[in-house]
A = this chain, B = another copy of it.
């Protein structure tokens, strides 16, 4: 299958990411249908031209005509959905997703999935601090990374299709990682940073501090406004890689603490030099 305009696309789960996918794909000229649990989301998306058709029901004919099905659901709901409704897929359909953790779903779903349907996992590393289709915005893909997460069960054709999707959506970079590499990377770059921001906000309940806040603190805690339902599931679904990264961070933080406590200025400066050098690699390339 090539990603051309006659491909029928179905999005399951019309939240922030599902809606942003729909907006980008509609703009490119695709026909986009959606199934989502919330009636208000369907109405909003139809009224605003984000989708061509939407329903809150499991409609076998809508599922059965889709060539490409994009799942934008929480991990456990995604797995349940496949178990309950996979009989409706068109033979040869390709499934992909937006789930932020992979170890807990990819191999499991691939093992229970019909043999004539292929699931190729993907993680668009884009988001906002707000949720819902009302906040969807495909400009969040610009400058962001799209990670394809193939396993040995995937065909080169599906991997290629999934890469093309990332490119069409407007991501800055399309990359490939294994399930293990992906989950380790995401534990460090995304989940650990959210843990730090949440812990920082919970560590001090002094009143009135906001009056003195500068941009450093604001930038560091932006992600402390967090969708607790989604992120708690993501954390627990990726528990061991996350705990490993938390351990490493704590060791590093404790080392800095001891150097400050013992007035070892040279050792403090050495950590700062390492940090400065390493951080330079992460500057945004425009």
Residues of A within 8 A of B (CB): 125-127, 144-145, 147, 173, 175, 177, 185, 188-190, 192-206, 209-226, 228-229, 231-233, 235-236, 239, 242-243, 245-246, 248-257, 260-261, 263, 265, 268-269, 271-276, 278-282, 284
Contact = CB atoms under 8 A, between A and B. Distances in A.
Contacts of A127: 214
Given A196-B220, A200-B252, 13 more contacts: A126-B214, A144-B215, A188-B209, A194-B216, A199-B253, A219-B222, A225-B275, A225-B279, A228-B268, A232-B265, A235-B268, A236-B260, A239-B263
B198 A185 contact: no
B275 A197 contact: yes
A198 B272 contact: yes
Chain A interface, >50% SS class: helix
Given A226-B275, A232-B269, A275-B226, A217 B190 contact: yes
B257 A243 contact: yes
A246 B236 contact: no
Count of identical protomers in the assembly:
2
B253 A250 contact: yes
A258 to B, nearest CB: 10
Contacts of A216: 189-190, 193-194, 222-223
A147 B212 contact: yes
A246 B242 contact: no
17 contacts: A145-B213, A173-B211, A189-B213, A190-B214, A193-B216, A196-B220, A199-B256, A200-B252, A201-B275, A201-B279, A202-B256, A202-B274, A203-B245, A226-B272, A226-B275, A232-B269, A250-B254
A274 B201 contact: yes
A202 B198 CA distance: 20
Contact of A265 (B205, B210, B236): B236
Nearest to A226: B272
A79 to B, nearest CB: 17
A143 B253 CA distance: 31
B193 A220 contact: yes
B189 A200 contact: no
Contact of A229 (B200, B205, B269): B269
Nearest to A195: B256
Contacts of A253: 195-196, 199, 203, 246, 250, 253
Given A260-B236, A282-B217, A275 B202 contact: yes
Contacts of A236: 260, 263, 265, 268
